[in-house]
Each structure stands twice: as C-alpha cells, then as structure tokens.
Chain A
Amino acid sequence: MTTAPAIGQPLDRVDGRPKVTGTARYSAEIPIPGTAYACLVGSRVASGRITGIDASSAQAEEGVLAVLTHQNLPRIAEQPPLVPSLAGTAAPGQTFFPMQDDIVHYAGQHIAIVVADTWERAQHAASLLRVSYEETPPVTTLEQGRDQAYEPERIFGGWLPGRVERGNIDAGLAEADARVEATFTYAANNHNPIEPSCTTAEWDGDELVLYDSTQGVNATQLTVARLLGTPLSKIRVIGHYVGGSFGSKAMIHDHAALAAMAAREVGRPVKLALSREQMFTSVGHREEQEQEIVLGATRDGRLTGIRHHKLSPTSHFDDWAEPSIGVASEIYACPNYQGVYRLFRANTMTPTFMRAPGEASGMLALECAMDELAQELGVEPIELRLRNYTDASPSSGHPWSSSGLRECYRRGAARFGWEGRDPRPGMRREGNWLIGTGMASAGYPVAPPANPQRARARLYADGTALVQAATPDFGTGVATVMTQVAADGLGMPVDRCRFENGDTDLPNIAAAVGSAGAGMISAAVHSAATALRNQLIARAVADANSPLHGANPVDVVVRDGVMTAGTASDSYVDLLQRNVQPDAEASGAWSPPAGDAPYAMMTFGAQFAEVAVDPEFGLVRVRRMTGAFAPGRVLNPKLARSQLMGGMLWGLGQALLEANYTHPRTGRWANASLGEYLVAVNADAPDVDVELVEVEDDIVNPLGVKGVGEVGQVGAAAAIANAVWHATGRRVRKMPITIEDLL
C-alpha cells in the first residue's frame, strides 16, 4: 500500500488535542518556580510631561519587589530602526522605548512597571502609584491634525514610497466619460487576539530565555538583543503556542524587553502580561483614516484614471501608514494613476500591521467606488471588473506569476447565485427586511522575505522523522501543514513525521507576517526534507549491501520510506540499521528570488455577500458570504478554508462593528475593552462558503504557495457595503456602518 501525497489532504490540526484539552501552554502559562508578576502602568494623559511619581505607598505593599520608572529603569543599549519583521532583522513596533525620559507622547504609554510576588499584589500596588503630569493639549483625531498634514517621503518602516504615480492622472481623468468621486472614513481598529501579549523572562547568569507571544521568535530575539545589548547567542526565545495575533504580535513591542529588564532588576523570572485594556495602547493598531478616491472611465467602463489619497495620524517617531493604496493601484488595468499618503503627527503610538494592512481599507474604497461606477454606467458589476482585468501589473508591466481572478469571479458568482441579480437597489423585501447583494474583488501581494529561510530534517533509524524550523504557529496551522510538506519531501507517511517549531534554537525563519508564512516556511521545509531524501538515496546507491547499489539516483523514487528503482528497493530503516547509523540529518535553505524577477506576484479572489437591512431600526444582518480565492497550491484545504473564512468574517467586523475612537480632549481611547470595542460574535457570523481555485505558480516559491491569511478579508467589507447599498439605495462611506447611518 502506498500513501497518497500528504500535501492537499484536509488533515486535522496536529496540535488539536492539546488545544481542546487545555494542555497547550501559551507564554503566560510556563510553570517556572519563583516567577514574579509585572504589572505595567500606562500614562493617564496623552500629551505632556511627568512631573513626579510617588511610589512610596506602592513600595510599602507586602510582596512588592520593584517599582521601575524613568527615574530608575536602566537605559536601553540602542534603539533599532523600525523595519517590518519580514525583513528578518530587529523589528521594534516603533522607534521609541518607554521610561527613558519624562515626556509623554500618547495615552497609555508605559510609564512604570510594578513587580510583586503575586499578580494581585502587583496590580494593587500599581494602582497606588501617584503620578503627576504637566499636561498639554493632545492631537489625536483627523479633524485636529488635518491642517498639519505633510507628505512623507516613505512610509511603512521605509519600505514604501509616500507617493506613487504612473501616466498622467489629470489627463486620464479629463478624458473620462464618467467619474466617481468618494471620500471614505475609517475608525481605528484594534487586533484583539484573545490571548493578550505576554512575555515571561528568565535569566540564568547572563543568558536569557523569553517565552513570548510573537509571530516570529527570531524577531523577538533580534529586537531584544539590540535593545539590551545582549549577544544573540545568549538569548533564546520560545513560543510554542500563540493565542492569535492578526499583526499585534508581528512587531516586537516594548513589553518583551521590559520583561527581561524587570527580571534582571528583581533577580527572579518575571511574567509580564498585558491587560485587555493595555492591548489597545501597547501593540499598535490600524490607524483612523480618510481616503479620497476618484475614478474616471470611458462609457464602456474602461478605467482611464484612478486618484487615491489617504490622510492618517502617525506617531511622533515614525512615518507609518498602512499601505492602503497598494493593491488598489495594481488590481485593474488603468494607465493613469496617482496615490498619495499624507500624515500628521499625533499623540499615538506608531500604528502597525493589522490583518490585510492597507489592502482591507484601500480595497474598500476602490471596490465601493467601482460599484458606484457600475451603477452609473449601467454595467453589471462583475462585467465592469472583467473589462478592467489585467494579466500584468499595471505599474511594472510584469505579468502575474499566476492569477486565477477570472475563475474566482466565475466560480464565486456561480456558488453565490449572482446571475440574474436585479441591479436596482431597494427592490427586494422580506417582511421588514430589505435584502441586498454585493460583490468585490480581492487581492493581496505575495511578499517574499529578505533572507534565506532554513529548516532541518532528521530521520531516525526506527523510521520516524523530526523536522524543525523556528517559526511559531499562532493559529495559522503551520505546524500541521509543514508536517505534510515534510512527509512528501521525505517520501514518508505523514503520521511518522513530527514538526517541531517555535524556538530560536531551531533553524531561522523570518516572522510569519504578510501571508508569507506558508510559502517561505514550506520552501525551507521542502528543501530540508528533499536534501535528506537525496542524501539517503545517495547513500543507498553507494552501499554495496543495498539492493539499489549502483542505481542512478535520479531513477529512485521514495514512497512510505521505501526507495525504489525499477524492481529493486531498499528502505530508509534498513539502510540506517544495516549501517548501524542511529539517524541521518540534513539542513535546507530557500533563498527568495531577487527583487528584479520579471514577474508580479499577487493572490486574487472574489467576494460576495447578502445582507438584510431593517430600515426602521437601522440593523444590518449579513445573511451569507461566499468567497472564491486563488492562493496557488493549497497545502491543506481544511485549514486554508478556516483561515479564509476567518478573514471574511473580519471583513464583516470591518464593515459593521469594529471601531475605536479617541476622545478629542483627553486623547484617550474611549472604548478600550471587548465590551465596547465590538468584534463579531457567533450571532453575527453567518455561514461562510469558501471556494478554493487552485492555480499553478512556479515562480513564487518551490511549492507555489501564495498564502491565505489575509486575502480573505480584502474586499469582504466592500461586498457588504455594496450589498447595503443594493438593499437600501444608501451609499455609506463611513466604516463601520452603524445604525445611525441607515436610519
């Protein structure tokens, strides 16, 4: 009996059992004797200076081990620059480290750490700190900052230009027969994974172990090493289980280094867990923003120009904007384009990646504007998009490495039942409910890492294999799919392979961000597994006692651990045991293609939604969603569907629920809790239909994997907003759409 390839099988998660039995240990759950508890204290004001901290009552509390403030916390060794963690370098969330001076830049800025022998004592003592401030008026909202806006040269950690142009935008819009102009506003969003970030730090002499909730253990290691001035070889970071991230753990925020500093101060292991409220002020967020979009098109719907401008607040330290114009500038053929970011300095921490960072907000503007254009021209919405379909990136002119977008429209529409839709708004009613449907395109760039990605494979003489790479699994399913990749690479059954991960002592992998994880890690694992297979084949054909002796290695195939060439065969186990060899091991590395490859890389999809709106109460209920996506090769359809479904439901939250606002006078977040920052709950979530359109791609990486973590969200909110228009005839251009917008 031979085993079918493991890749593509809908296997259950390998970490399912520990997760459903409660035995999976997340970073706040590592039992280390003598662990002390650190409680962070955030600034009550958003702007000003600390004039005094009276810690006497806090220090007098029983069990308190230390109160650390800017007055006594050691200085950091060095502030590394802000570089996205995919680069594989130090990746602080902002170029500001707290408690180095008395200046307050934003509300919630960490101004003290109280360490005590129990969590309750640390929390209580923290509440006893008396902090006095000299307060200055804060700037946090678009209205407060609009007049001070500037055009940054570069954004996004320096990775992207602040302005992108092609053709002649003025001429393109001037020649248009039809024009749509729309301004969209977006509330700030917060990731809110259910596991709040936590770092547990333990020093042994000058060696440090951190248990960290992170998207990249190596990113934590690199960042903390620079901040503390500690050699990399003396910092080990472990993240076996991470309770969700969505970008909040993609960059390494200051609590990781603060935990290590606190542990050094008190001479004990320290657990530093953020509270839910601190998750709104400590790990970045998706910034509040405004986007103006202008589309020009010919009478038959061909785009002649797109102008897309964005205004958003950033911190005092960094020019950060999520790249909202990115995919929206690339997905349609359009010769004339202008995209511009404008920023203003505000009393905020540096915003950060949040699922589909930029793509979700930018494609909302474009896809709602496309819906308006379709309405204005009387062209069916999918047909309008097909007329603007492009086989190549309109900016570089390079062909897509693979697309599948047209197939996504076709199969998504068929599954959803789009055909025959009456394009007129407000035509369907069921009782009190107005019913509408909407669609949108989805796209997400395929971003390769900057450095070689590595893995290691070991085969034991009992016929089981261990494959290792540093990457944590924060819910993506990477531990499961890499077991599948390893099995196929080795030519072994999947149940004889184990993937070990989440530890910097294992081969280096960049932070799994930007939907890059599955592609880059599978490339490394495949490389290591095939290197080991080739090593064993070479060994067998050179072994005078092997039935394969003298065979040409290229003729040898491996299935279920048995190497076969023609009628001769030898097994891995026999080979090792015959040679009294306990195991065999190989490393593999994958270097991403150079940036000048003549291809453009993007994952495409199509989104469909049906809503019911009660016009008397302003209620919107999403009744069903369909998404069709072309993520290259699908490593495990069960887990891929889950991630895409999650992304689509994030789109529901983006469209209808998720909003955080600052109070214009205090500059503080007004609703920093899960009771007041609404995320989709079970009752909000309809059944979701996910269609996988597999496309071959031999450019992106060895297995042709484009990733599914984020594209599911792109366009989902636009499909819902377009459905709300179709139900009611109202174009709501404020996200989220709430009751008062529809009354």
Chain B
Amino acid sequence: MSAQSPAPLTERGQVLEERGPGPVAVTLSVNGVERSLEIEPRVSLLDALREHLDLTGAKKGCDQGTCGACTVWVDGHRVLSCLTLAMTCEGREVTTIEGLAEGDELHAVQQAFIAEDAFQCGYCTPGQIMSAAALLKEGHAGDDAEIKEWMSGNICRCAAYPHIRAAIRAVRDGA
C-alpha cells in the first residue's frame, strides 16, 4: 500500500541528549497548548495524554498497536500513540480527539458519526474519527473499497463498520 509515511519521529543519525531513566521534564504541544510534564522516558504518548495530561479521549484498547483506539496525529500524521514514546514528540504538534472540534462546533466527521450512528459503545470512536478525518484529508476515501482498506487499522468490536463508511462518505460528498 502506498501510504504517505509520516515524517520520522527522530532523525536518523541525530545525537540526542541522554535523559532518564528517572522522570525528566518534557514539553509537549497538544491541541495547540504547551504542556509541561515530568515523566520517565519510557512513558508512551498514550499514557502521557491519559495519565498525566487528563486527556482521556485517546483510548487504550490493546497497548500493542493492534486496535487503533489510541490513534492521534503528530504533525498532522496518524500515529498509534501506544507505540510512540511521549518524549519523541517534543517539538511536534500533537492533535487528539479533544482538539478536533472548533469550540462547540463539531468537526464534520464527528457530526457525521453521530448522524450515521457510526458507533455504539464509543470506545474505539475517537481513534476511528482521527483516522477517518486524516484519510479524508489525504484523499484516501475515493470509494468504499479504499475506505475499507484505509480504515481497517481501527477495530470496532460493535461492528459499526458500514455506518463508519457511511459517515466518511457523507463528509466526502459534503452531504
């Protein structure tokens, strides 16, 4: 699959300052806000968001990179935040589901998920929406076959898949 690969999180060959293994000061820019935290270098971006910044929208479904519930954007690209170390995101812009709406105005994908009933329990939903919004932006929602393929990294155990596709189509077609 010809994925637009995200920019590497650490430049190859770049010499990084040695920090840790104890807690170190890390600054993350999340949803446009600079956030300072004291975390061990082994803390994942997902746990930094959920356990240190009280941003629990990104979900922990497997902590192994298999379910997609933790999907967020780093510099606009989808990443699995459970497989990303928080401190590698310094100097990058992290966007989570909490940063998707403009104030009270929901993002079109959020609105479409409600209208099409594209979720039931809601636990995979933030990850689905972050993936869906990204693939629409990237132009990977041309037809159902493409949507199916590009959305298959996000498991929905309630199996709302046909409605997730309907929501993506609705946004794509401006319906």
B36: interface (CB < 8 Å): no
**Would you call A642 and B161 a contact (CB within 8 A)?**
no
**Would you call B120 and A646 a contact (CB within 8 A)?**
yes
Q: Which of B104-125 contact A (CB under 8 A)?
A: 106, 110, 113-115, 117, 119-125
**Would you call A20 and B157 a contact (CB within 8 A)?**
no
A536 to B153 CA separation, bound complex (whole angstroms): 53
**Would you call A646 and B160 a contact (CB within 8 A)?**
yes
Kindly provide the distance from the CB of B64 to the nearest chain A CB, expressed in whole angstroms: 6
Which residues from B are CB-within-8-Å of A119?
A: 47, 51
Which residues from A are CB-within-8-Å of B100?
A: 21
Chain B binding surface, main DSSP class? loop
A643: interface (CB < 8 Å): yes
**Chain A 249-272 interface mask (CB, 8 Å, partner B; 1/0):** 000000000000000000000000
Quick one: which of B55, B152, B162, B163 has the most chain A CB within 10 A? B162
**Would you call A194 and B56 a contact (CB within 8 A)?**
no
| A12 touching B115 in the complex, CB below 8 Å, given contacts A120-B40, A193-B121 | yes
B79: interface (CB < 8 Å): no
A232: interface (CB < 8 Å): no
A15: interface (CB < 8 Å): yes
Q: Which of A664-699 contact B (CB under 8 A)?
A: 673-675, 679-683, 685-688
Kindly provide the distance from the CB of B118 to the nearest chain A CB, expressed in whole angstroms: 9
Q: Which of A45-65 contact B (CB under 8 A)?
A: none
A18 to B98 CA separation, bound complex (whole angstroms): 10
Which residues from B are CB-within-8-Å of A476?
A: 120
Query: Looking at the complex, which one of B122, B160, B162 makes contact with A687 (CB distance below 8 Å)?
Result: B162
A638 to B114 CA separation, bound complex (whole angstroms): 11
A316: interface (CB < 8 Å): no
Kindly provide the distance from the CB of B7 to the nearest chain A CB, expressed in whole angstroms: 25
B80: interface (CB < 8 Å): no
Which residues from A are CB-within-8-Å of B24?
A: none
**Would you call A21 and B97 a contact (CB within 8 A)?**
yes
Query: Looking at the complex, which one of B66, B97, B101 makes contact with A674 (CB distance below 8 Å)?
Result: B66
A25: interface (CB < 8 Å): yes
**Would you call A674 and B155 a contact (CB within 8 A)?**
yes
A16: interface (CB < 8 Å): yes
Which residues from B are CB-within-8-Å of A22?
A: 55-58, 96-98, 126
Which residues from A are CB-within-8-Å of B110?
A: 20-21
- The segment from A238-246, A302-310, A527-535 found at the interface with B is A238-246
**Would you call B120 and A682 a contact (CB within 8 A)?**
no
**Would you call A23 and B40 a contact (CB within 8 A)?**
no
| A681 touching B155 in the complex, CB below 8 Å, given contacts A17-B114, A120-B43 | yes
| A244 touching B158 in the complex, CB below 8 Å, given contacts A29-B56, A193-B121 | yes
Nearest-neighbor residue (CB-CB) of B56 within chain A: A29
Kindly provide the distance from the CB of A600 to the nearest chain B CB, expressed in whole angstroms: 30
**Would you call A193 and B123 a contact (CB within 8 A)?**
yes
Which residues from A are CB-within-8-Å of B50?
A: 28-29
Chain A binding surface, main DSSP class? loop
Which residues from A are CB-within-8-Å of B57?
A: 21-23
Which residues from A are CB-within-8-Å of B81?
A: none
Which residues from B are CB-within-8-Å of A120?
A: 40, 42-43, 47
**Would you call B97 and A642 a contact (CB within 8 A)?**
no
Which residues from A are CB-within-8-Å of B126?
A: 20, 22
A643 to B121 CA separation, bound complex (whole angstroms): 11
**Chain A 186-199 interface mask (CB, 8 Å, partner B; 1/0):** 00000111111000
| A20 touching B160 in the complex, CB below 8 Å, given contacts A29-B50, A194-B155, A244-B120 | no
**Would you call B101 and A193 a contact (CB within 8 A)?**
no
A194 to B152 CA separation, bound complex (whole angstroms): 14
**Would you call B54 and A19 a contact (CB within 8 A)?**
no
A591: interface (CB < 8 Å): no
Nearest-neighbor residue (CB-CB) of B144 within chain A: A687
| A243 touching B155 in the complex, CB below 8 Å, given contacts A21-B98, A194-B67 | no
**Chain A 273-313 interface mask (CB, 8 Å, partner B; 1/0):** 10110000000000000000000000000000000000000
**Would you call B151 and A682 a contact (CB within 8 A)?**
yes
Kindly provide the distance from the CB of B11 to the nearest chain A CB, expressed in whole angstroms: 26
Kindly provide the distance from the CB of A474 to the nearest chain B CB, expressed in whole angstroms: 6
**Would you call A23 and B162 a contact (CB within 8 A)?**
no
22 contacts between A and B (CB under 8 A): A17-B106, A18-B122, A19-B119, A20-B106, A20-B110, A21-B97, A21-B110, A22-B58, A119-B51, A191-B157, A193-B121, A194-B59, A196-B61, A245-B121, A475-B120, A475-B121, A475-B122, A642-B120, A649-B161, A674-B67, A681-B161, A688-B162
- Contacts A194-B123, A649-B161 known; list 4 others, CB within 8 Å: A12-B115, A241-B122, A682-B149, A682-B156
Which residues of A are at the interface with B, using a C-beta cutoff of 8 A? 12-13, 15-26, 28-29, 31, 118-120, 191-196, 241-246, 273, 275-276, 474-477, 638-639, 641-643, 645-646, 649-650, 673-675, 679-683, 685-688
